[in-house]
Chains A and B, each alone.
Chain A
Amino acid sequence: MEAIVIEDLTKYYGNILALDNLNLKISRGHCVGFLGPNGAGKSTTIKILCNLIRPTHGKAYVLGFDVSVEAQNALRSIGAIVEVPEFYLYLTPEEMLSYLGKLRGISSAVLKERITKVLELVRLQEWVNIKIGKFSRGMKQRLGIAQAILHDPTVLILDEPALGLDPRGMYEIREIIKNLVKEGKTIFLASHMLHEVREVCDSVALINKGKLIACNSVENLEKIFHVQQIEIETLSPANKQQAKKISRFEAAKQVSIHENKITVEFEGNETKRAEFLNFLVNNVKLQIISFRSSSKGLEEIYLRFVKEVS
């Protein structure tokens, strides 16, 4: 069963076309990144899925429930962050979460446990009794994550969840999302942070001017566009001979060396990457400190797509 199904979704704001017959399917248990430039229609799609606005035409289903018709049933399984979350400033995080939890029918005993757990998870446990009015933007963002996962939803719709967070906060949010994916949750993640998407999502949906322009796994997209990049850090700079050897490796399409850093445009799957690492250590005799796929591949795809459509 699909977790999210979007069929011919169209939305006009007056004369402005925000979504143009958007079609998208997200299977259960998958984490899909939703990418696109500002004004591409990401927030509009998310708002329709959360029943905040109605489509002009088309349907959106969450776990089989039409969001516009059976909103309560659809929203029961959704946890969401839409735009920058704003809360009632006169409440404390505990009161705020308690309000939302009670509205969702969570019993008092379970709710207390859940509030403690989610506030710990987003590292707000020490602020539990402080009024939200005193919170910074980053703290409100953390609370936004807490309220989204409070009721243990099956589907998470997250609009820029790491916005306004410091690097540590971003890392923690990524870890939370990764754990949610492991738990089998379906995640629909709109973000401009491509490395974040690269790290947590198994596939991406690219949208521009309200139209879906690509939807595939990150790996497939990189394969199609030959833009997978591998960044290698070495103990000492590679010499000319070593550089030549690297270039001879079949899957390495382009090699650039800058001091201790080697960037390789790579074409191949995980096995090929493992082979390449083995080759670098045993044949090229490089002393490798780090070896990782870079998000620049996704960035390249994103830029190409947006450019092509424009």
Chain B
Amino acid sequence: MFKKKENTDLKQIGIVMRYELLKHLRRRRLIAVLAITLIVSSLQLAVPPAFNIAYPEEPKSFAESFLSFVHLLVIICGAFFAGDAIASEFEQKTGYILFPNPVKRVVLVAGKFLAAVISVFLMVGLYYAICFLSILTIYGVTLNQLVHSFAYAFLFLLGVLGLTFLFSSLLKGSMGATLLSFFMLFMILPIMEGVLTITGNEPWYSITYSSQIITEVINPSSVRVEKIVVKDSPITVWVFHPDFLTSTVVLLTYFIATLVLTLLIIDRKEMV
């Protein structure tokens, strides 16, 4: 018999996180997302000169256009790094090896969540770094708004990962969880927002609507709501600009609520 140290929850979270990061590395998901990030950045920078189109005159307009991809990047990363985080333990039956260890399930979720946050943070951080350097090279200026935008992008990634973890804990299959989170964030919620906007209702409670503050902060609109009446037509077009405080609270709420729900579900979930 040899001595074993009492592991603290914090230490165990660190161990789970390290091995989860190793998983992302070994399964080449980090590399795949890195490739997507680099390809999209390169296209954003190379396509206009290739077609003799000038970059926008204002660095803010350039930043707005460049950062419009951040939403999709976060959603892709969420699906890649979090979709199977929990579901796979049940689906692949690796839980039979992992769960009979003296580790709280909350600790396992926390470690996996942190690994996903780090992975997405690195990719989004890289994209922002490319944006920052591009603006500095093309316009010779730095934009303070990029820092704010990055902070909002971080809040969005927390919310997206929370939601994806929730689906991963609810569903039996990794593929189902991954696809559900991707389509929910990429299609279902944006369609719902579109319908609500047409009817003149601001979808302030939607995570994807709130995430618009990522680009909105670069060049904030002076009005919150724009009502455009089309001449000689019964159609009224509504344009809503998300409120920063409300959107911040919404993104934080998504993150906290989904993570708490995930923890409650995973603590009760049985490895049948």
Nearest CB in chain B: distance from A10 CB, A: 15
User: Are B97 and A87 within 8 A (Cβ)?
Assistant: yes
User: Are B4 and A82 within 8 A (Cβ)?
Assistant: no
Question: With the chains together, A71 CA to B23 CA distance in Å?
Answer: 27
User: Are B2 and A53 within 8 A (Cβ)?
Assistant: no
Q: Mark A83-116, 1 if CB is under 8 A from B, else 0.
A: 1111110110001000110111111001000100
Nearest CB in chain A: distance from B106 CB, A: 11
User: Are B272 and A85 within 8 A (Cβ)?
Assistant: no
Nearest CB in chain A: distance from B110 CB, A: 13
Contacts of A102 in B (CB 8 A): 15
Question: With the chains together, A106 CA to B101 CA distance in Å?
Answer: 13
Q: How large is the interface on B (under 10, 10 to 19, 20 to 34, 35 or more residues)?
A: 20 to 34
Nearest CB in chain A: distance from B190 CB, A: 34
Tell me whether B94 is interfacial, beta carbon within 8 Å.
yes
User: Are A72 and B104 within 8 A (Cβ)?
Assistant: yes
Nearest CB in chain A: distance from B9 CB, A: 10
User: Are A90 and B27 within 8 A (Cβ)?
Assistant: yes
Q: How many residues of A contact B (CB 8 A)?
A: 38
Question: With the chains together, A132 CA to B102 CA distance in Å?
Answer: 23
Tell me whether A42 is interfacial, beta carbon within 8 Å.
no
Nearest CB in chain A: distance from B97 CB, A: 6
Q: Mark A64-84, 1 if CB is under 8 A from B, else 0.
A: 000000011101101010111
User: Are A106 and B26 within 8 A (Cβ)?
Assistant: no
User: Are B270 and A54 within 8 A (Cβ)?
Assistant: yes
Contacts of B3 in A (CB 8 A): 107, 110
Tell me whether A52 is interfacial, beta carbon within 8 Å.
yes
Contacts of A107 in B (CB 8 A): 3, 5
Contacting residue for A52 out of B6, B94, B96, B102, CB 8 A: B96
Tell me whether A198 is interfacial, beta carbon within 8 Å.
no
Enumerate B87-122 residues with CB–CB distance to A below 8 Å.
92-104
User: Are B7 and A104 within 8 A (Cβ)?
Assistant: yes
Question: With the chains together, A160 CA to B95 CA distance in Å?
Answer: 17
Contacts of A88 in B (CB 8 A): 19, 23, 94
User: Are A52 and B270 within 8 A (Cβ)?
Assistant: yes
Enumerate B1-44 residues with CB–CB distance to A below 8 Å.
1-7, 12, 15-16, 19, 22-23, 26-27
Contacts of B6 in A (CB 8 A): 105
Nearest CB in chain A: distance from B101 CB, A: 5
Nearest CB in chain B: distance from A79 CB, A: 8
Question: With the chains together, A75 CA to B5 CA distance in Å?
Answer: 15
Contacting residue for B94 out of A50, A51, A87, A105, CB 8 A: A87
B25's nearest neighbour on chain A, judged by CB, is A90
Contacting residue for B2 out of A47, A52, A110, A147, CB 8 A: A110
Question: With the chains together, A75 CA to B101 CA distance in Å?
Answer: 6
User: Are B96 and A83 within 8 A (Cβ)?
Assistant: yes
